[in-house]
Amino acid sequence: MTAIRVLAELHDAGIRFGLKGDRIRLEPTRGPIPSPMVRRIADHKPEAVALLSSAEGDILRALFDLAIDEGLPGATVVALSAEDLRACADLPRDALRAYLRALARSQRMAAGSVPDGWTRAVVCDGCGPVLLWPDCPASAIACPWCWHRRAGRAVPRPRGG
């Protein structure tokens, strides 16, 4: 396990984190921190401190905090490269929230799952019957699933479609 994965595990447990000097500051949002998690943090402390102290550390922490607020998994943030993190550094919080939601939706689609709220069965010229958001057109020349279909990923179908 790497430090970024330990940070994602903290996030998924509802624990906000930060850095104060060379100490990792933890703020649980729901109950005490389980002792196995405390051991994993201790095992990866030097790497985690280096990561949080890096140029990307502030934006990484901010993205994990926003992901907690949005109810998104830590894997959403872990998927970002150092270049992606640097590109996020000067964006306003609302833009970062939208970016994380879009990234999580894309990750969910890549895994073959329909994003929350996509309940309307439509026909895409490229994909055939698919589920999209409620106020989308009844048919489409192309849809958000087309990218995943062309990449060889599964495209879930509406029931009976």
Q: Region 8-36: what's the mean pLDDT?
A: 89
Residue 1 is predicted with a pLDDT of: 65
Residue 59 in this model has a pLDDT that exceeds 70: yes
Residue 85 is predicted with a pLDDT of: 92
Give yes or no: residues 78 and 100 share one domain: yes
Q: Which domain holds residue 139?
A: 113-161
Q: Region 123-135: what's the mean pLDDT?
A: 97
Residue 69 in this model has a pLDDT that exceeds 80: yes
CA–CA gap between residue 157 and residue 113 (Å, rounded): 10
Give yes or no: residues 85 and 133 share one domain: no
Residue 94 in this model has a pLDDT that exceeds 90: yes
- The segment with the largest mean pLDDT, out of 25-29, 66-70, 93-97, is 93-97
Q: Which residues contact 74 (CB under 8 A, 6 or more apart)?
A: 7, 8, 9, 10, 11, 12, 64, 67
The pLDDT > 90 percentage for the chain reads 70
Give yes or no: residues 106 and 120 share one domain: no
Structural domain count of the chain = 2
Give yes or no: residues 105 and 30 share one domain: yes
Residue 161 in this model has a pLDDT that exceeds 70: no
Give yes or no: residues 134 and 75 share one domain: no
CA–CA gap between residue 86 and residue 154 (Å, rounded): 32
pTM for the full predicted model: 0.79
Residue with tokens 């109950």: 31
